[in-house]
Structure 1
Amino acid sequence: MKPSVGRVVHYRSFGTPVGEYASECRAAIVAGVPEGALPVADAERAQEWDSDAVVVDLAVLNPTGLFFDRCPQSEDNHRGGTWHWPERTD
């Protein structure tokens, strides 16, 4: 599947260091699909991402408010700070 503006995906939160909030999936809406290379600001984190990761701009829905970020895709291990397609349910 190819991400497009308006699609609903899951964002994996980092959680907090002290543990007030666990790392978990949050609903997110694709707000933009940037073209070209990864943003320079994310060059350090790029080493951690899959080589074929699709980077998108997300509006993440949290219980305490909205969060906006540019994130890579991670379908295999759902690391914090990444997005993935929602799991299918029957």
Structure 2
Amino acid sequence: MSEQQIPSVGRIVHYVSYGTPGGEYTSKCRAAIITEVPEHLLAEPLDGCPNGTQDEWIASLAVLNPTGTFFNEDVPQDEHEHNGGTWHWPERV
């Protein structure tokens, strides 16, 4: 996206599931709602820096799976690789 978005509570994002090591379940995007955006990063490499430093956002999410909802804290944003255990803004369709 050309314009930088800033995460906030209540915004809808995509959480990327890990999948299973044996491949029975693949990594998939799941709908998620941002439940918290800490003011400061609490883990390395940017411990103590304002959240969003170097465009690295951390957010807590309520992830909506077909089989249930789970809550995940301190999830990093990944707009490029979409690795398991990260979130990103939904693609425009």
Structure 1 and Structure 2 fold alike (TM over 0.5): yes
Long gaps (5+) in structure 1: 45-50
Give the number of equivalent residue pairs.
81
How far did 1:28 drift? 0.2
5+ residue gaps, structure 2, are: 46-53
Give the helix-richer structure, 1 or 2: 1
What corresponds to 2:62 in structure 1? 59
Q: CA RMSD in A?
A: 1.8
Asked whether 1:8 is paired with 2:22, we answer no
- TM-score, scaled to structure 2: 0.78
Write out the 4+ residue segments of structure 1 that deviate beyond 4 Å after TM superposition.
none
Percent of pairs identical after alignment?
61
TM-score (norm 1): 0.81
- 1:28 and 2:44 aligned: no
Residue 16 of structure 1 and its aligned partner are, at CA, apart by 1.0
**Which residue number corresponds to residue 42 of structure 2?**
38
